[in-house]
Structure 1
Amino acid sequence: MMDPHDDVELSDLEDDAFIPSTSRAKSLKGKSPNRFLRWLPPRMRAFLENMSRIRLVIITVIVFILLLVFISYWNGRLKDVSIPKQSLALSKELARNLSNTAIPEYVLTYAPLVFLDSEDEFYPSDMAAHVSNAHPTMNFNPVKDAPEGLTLDNLNDLNDLGGDSIYLTSTTLLTNLPNYLHGQKPDKKTLQTENAVSCVIALANKEDGILDAFYIYFYTFNDGPRALGHQVGNHLGDWEHNMIRFKNGEPQAIWYSQHEYGAAFTYDAVNKIGKRPIGFSAKGSHANYAVSGAHDLHELDDEIPAHIVFDQTSQGPLWDPTLSAYYYTYSSTNNKFEPANDKTPVNYLYFEGQWGDQEYLDGVEGQEEFHGFHKWTSGPQGPIFKHLDRKDVCLPRDGGCIIKESL
């Protein structure tokens, strides 16, 4: 016990009087309200404190959304890319070979380049190889009197045996995913699908100096999109296309096919490498888009639930379809194709049937149904059914043609 007569320093008394103990300081820390808030009623003060916390949450959410937008922009931007020298040399050689034909040079100068998705396993494919791996059926039965060994030269003979009721059915069960379905990956140095003619380029002259150039891409297999553990829309044979509308030799607009419809843009609006527009081929489905990223299929078809099924595109392998293509002019007056040279096959373009199997029946092994959509569906018809005679840039559809001026 301190003796009251012990000497006490004045500074010690001042410290005891005006500086709280350490434990007391800690207890008061954080409890003292804001100078303004401490004069408010407790309920009002609690409300304002809660609002402060909510504001912090809102700011956090806004920052998170901005981060997602930035990531989307960063992933979706067109990364710098140049065309390899070997590919440029092949393009010059192609231009020389077509210089004395009905194919104008500007059709090559402004031809689209296509980025395949980096995760896609099903590449552009050789049309002749596709036909050789199929046999004609009708109602799941072999077609009688069909030519032995289908080729691009005799495919139209099937029109007299059943027309659009005929299906080119895989000789190997599709559910086994035979190797020929994978097609040909473009070479990194040439951008060419070597030994695989995988594109049809058809030119349709219209009135008033208009020429529509159709760049029609062939993939032997459509690997349908996935949703909630299900897959829909698998089929043999897959035709997709860009169309560039020229007026007096100058590009005006470009069409991107996307499943049953698509999108149109002005030529100036789209990304390009040099003068050549860029397309992005979706993983598996090969629908064409002007930008990379995820594309909600609900925007293309109202029957598809929103935010469930997406096409995925990315800046994967670059493909120059012009380097492995057949070239034609097309007359809408008589629906006739004229090949650019005598060695180009043409009869296959008149085939009226489907370029794949007929949709599997319910109950067949491997077939599934999801919200009215099936996993294994029928193959499509060929290039002559792409509305080559269309008046607008867009495919015919109620509501008119909207040509977007920005991406």
Structure 2
Amino acid sequence: MLAFSSSSILCIALLSISSTHARPYTNSRSSQTTFGTDEGGGELEEEGGGWFDALARKFAPIIYLSEDETFWPSSASFILPAFTVLNSSSSPFHPQPSILSTTNLDSLPFHGSSLHLGIASSAEDLVDRYNGQPTLDRDEVDVRIFGQPPPSKGEGEWEVIAFAVEKSKGGVIDVYYWTYYPYNLGKHVRTLGVVGNHISDWEAVMVRTVDGEAISVDYLAHTGDFGEGTVRWEDVTKEDGRPVAFSASGSHGLWSRPGSHVYASALNLFTLVDETSRGPRWDTSRRLLPLPYFKPSSSYPSDHRTREIFSGDSSWLNWRGPFGDFGQTDCWWSGIYPACQLVDGPYGPARESLKEPPRCILSKLSSSDDSKSLYSFEISSHLLPVNRTTFVGVRQLCRRFDGLPEFEGEGQGPRSRRGEEVVWGWDEISSENVTSGRFEMETSQCRRGFHVAAYGTALSHSQPSAKITKNAEDCKECSYLSELRRVCPYDEKGAVKGRSVDVRDIDVWGWQK
């Protein structure tokens, strides 16, 4: 998983990347049943009795690993005994269990929020003592870093964590299927060599469901905005009604089809490519651990949900530190390119980002007579005014049709920049709006030569005068200014681009804050 931080992206401006109510939340754990034996020696347990179990199994993806894969998946119980808990100086933390396991990892202070994990090697360089590189010296690192190869005959079976995340609207549940690999093989960059190696690799597919039926799949290659993004359910390749994904060789990014996938480039200097093929088949339903992301809530939906705290064999999921040591920052090219040969290990699957909406809002082209864009959305009640005149705004990001990059970088989402402009629409908030939180608004269409790329919302105590700005954050009067959400229009033939759209957003703005 080769990914970059937002600050790193700024250092390389060249980078571009090609209403029914939910069932009552139940969290029954009184009937745990064993459904598999982990090859690392532990038992996998199903958190039985919850609605999330059946939903997660219904859409558990089929994954095809690469034909030339050498760094295989594994489970937590297999790899944790190979890890050492490290402090901020990458030295062993004391005290810690002599052998880490799924049941004792969470015994570390504060769920490990100021710690991280590393795999010991026999390297003489103490800097890399817990961050060995198997591609340089296979004999100096723990062999568990290569994962668990599949049997010579038959399909691979590895543990998969499935988080069911109840979103802001009743009936909307996103299921994240997390796969784990002990090592990520970086990419070969011309003149630089291999960059982006790191200990541990978490990769996911997210299925969005409404009232128990899938409507889209997010292929989340390399976290952030580098992957394929949101695909309509009707466009997803399926086996037995479940989505199919292809894991990239070495770096394990998940894509919807086999082939070559360019996910980053810098002019003519280099490209980063994921290669996928139809290698070993992996039916993730065979060793699936379905879990709820949020604790039970007396009221649903709720603006303030808290994450579940797990116990027993699942308690390792409470770990808040990275699953790998720190990367290098002193390579000779670090001033011009953010990733050295070794980069930081990733965080685990129970991430804050699971609260976020899909990478893109599926919409239609506008059919209004005056070609205006139509936006239907909801803002969380705690953001709305009480007994005070306030205006609500919609800002529509318009982008040129000339092929400017769709992606800004990991975790950043779309932002305004050269070749883009923002069209604003404002309206006074009524008492009915305050009660329901629901808004129906419109903006002018993008001007000729531009298409709708994203939208966001805003609140202001006075109506701003600007109708078009060059910057999506340009609103001095605003008391609330949301991030932008990508908009992906479709027609009967598939994905399209248009100057005006009809967006029906089911993710409430601000609900998770």
TM bucket (normalised to shorter chain) is: 0.5 to 0.7
Pairing 1:158–2:121 present: no
Equivalent position to 1:291, from 246, 257, 260: 257
* Cα separation, 2, equivalents of 1:227 and 1:166: 31
Deviation at 1:167, TM superposition (A): 2.0
Q: 1:358 offset after TM fit, Å?
A: 1.5
Match of 1:390 in 2: 356
1-side partners of 2:489 and 2:181: how far apart? 28
Alignment pair present for 1:336 and 2:296: no
1:203 pairs with 2:183: no
Does 1:373 find its partner at 2:322?
A: no
Q: What CA deviation, in whole Å up to 9, does each residue of 1:173-204 have, x standing for no partner?
A: 512343212212334765342xxx53111111
1:105-144 Cα distance to aligned partner (Å, 9 max, x none):
3432322111111111011112122111010112121112
Aligned partner letter, 2:210:
K
Count matched residues. 299
Distance 1:112 1:152, change over 3 A: same
Question: Which residue of 1 is the match for residue 477 of structure 2?
Answer: none
Q: Distance in 1 between matches of 2:309 and 2:110?
A: 19
Counterpart contact for 2:56–2:162, Cα < 8 Å:
no
Q: Check if 1:185 corresponds to 2:146.
A: no
Tell me if the contact between 1:186 and 1:319 (Cα under 8 Å) persists in the aligned partners: no
From 143, 149, 170, the counterpart of 2:93: 143
Amino acid corresponding to residue 86 of structure 2 in structure 1: T
SS of residue matched to 1:143: coil
Aligned residue identity for 1:285: S
Identity of aligned pairs, percent? 24
Unaligned runs of 5+ in 1: 1-89, 92-96
Q: Distance in 1 between matches of 2:153 and 2:210?
A: 33
- 1:393 deviates by 5.2
Go from structure 1 to structure 2 and tell me whether the alpha carbon gap of 1:133 and 1:382 turns closer, same or farther (over 3 Å shift). Answer: same
Q: Structure 2 CA distance, aligned partners of 1:274 and 1:188?
A: 25
Q: Quick one: distance in 2 between partners of 1:304 and 1:236?
A: 29
- Tell me which protein shows more helix as a share of its residues: 1
Alpha-carbon distance in structure 2 between the residues aligned to 1:99 and 1:215: 17
1:225 pairs, out of 187, 196, 202, with: 187
Instruction: Measure the CA separation in 2 of the matches of 1:293 and 1:186.
Output: 22
Distance in 2, matches of 1:376 and 1:112, equals: 30
Question: Structure 1: which amino acid aligns with 2:81?
Answer: S
TM-score by length of structure 2 reads 0.53
Indicate the SS of the match to 2:149.
coil
Amino acid at match of 1:295: H
Distance 2:51 2:277 in 1: 35
Shift of 1:210: 1.0
Q: Distance in 1 between matches of 2:315 and 2:154?
A: 29
When Rg is computed on C-alpha atoms for both structures, the one with the higher figure is 1
Q: Deviations over 1:246-302 (max 9, x none)?
A: 11111011111122323111111111123111111111111111122111132xxx6
1:353 aligns with 2:369: no
CA distance in 2, matches of 1:320, 1:404: 32
Tell me the distance in 2 between the aligned counterparts of 1:227 and 1:248. 45
Of 478, 486, 489 in structure 2, the residue corresponding to residue 401 of structure 1 is 486
1:297/1:304 contact within 8 Å kept: no
CA distance in 2 between counterparts of 1:304 and 1:213 reads 36
TM-score where L is the length of structure 1: 0.66
Contact 2:206 2:218 in 1 (8 A): yes
Task: Say what the alpha-carbon RMSD is for the aligned residues.
Answer: 3.0
- After alignment, is 330-339 or 131-140 more displaced? 330-339
Question: Distance between the aligned counterparts of 1:112 and 1:368, measured in 2?
Answer: 39
Following superposition, the deviation at residue 304 of structure 1 comes to 7.9
1:122–1:221 contact (8 Å) kept in structure 2: yes
> The residue matched to 1:308 in structure 2 has which SS?
strand
Picking from 220, 224, 236, the partner of 1:257 is 220
Equivalent position SS for 1:296: strand
The amino acid of 2:292's aligned partner reads T
Runs of at least 5 residues in structure 2 that lack an aligned partner in the other structure:
1-34, 37-45, 124-131, 296-304, 361-410, 415-483, 496-513
> The residue matched to 1:401 in structure 2 has which SS?
strand
Q: For 1:373, what is the secondary structure of its paired residue? A: coil
2:162 aligned counterpart, secondary structure: strand
Question: What secondary structure is seen at the aligned counterpart in 2 of 1:103?
Answer: helix
- AA partner of residue 330 (structure 1): Y
* Change over 3 Å in CA distance of 1:287–1:403 after alignment to 2: farther
* Paired AA for residue 359 in structure 1: G
Partner deviation per Cα, 1:331-361 (whole Å, 9 max, x = no partner): 171110568xxxx622211111110122145
Deviates more, 1:211-220 or 1:385-394: 385-394
Secondary structure at the residue paired with 2:178?
A: strand
1:191 to 1:137, Cα distance in 2 relative to 1, 3 A? same
Partner of 1:327: 290
The aligned residue for residue 277 of structure 2 is 314
Distance change >3 Å, CA 166–CA 317, structure 1 → 2: same
* Contact residue 187 and residue 195 of structure 2 kept, 8 A: yes
Distance 1:386 1:217 in 2: 17
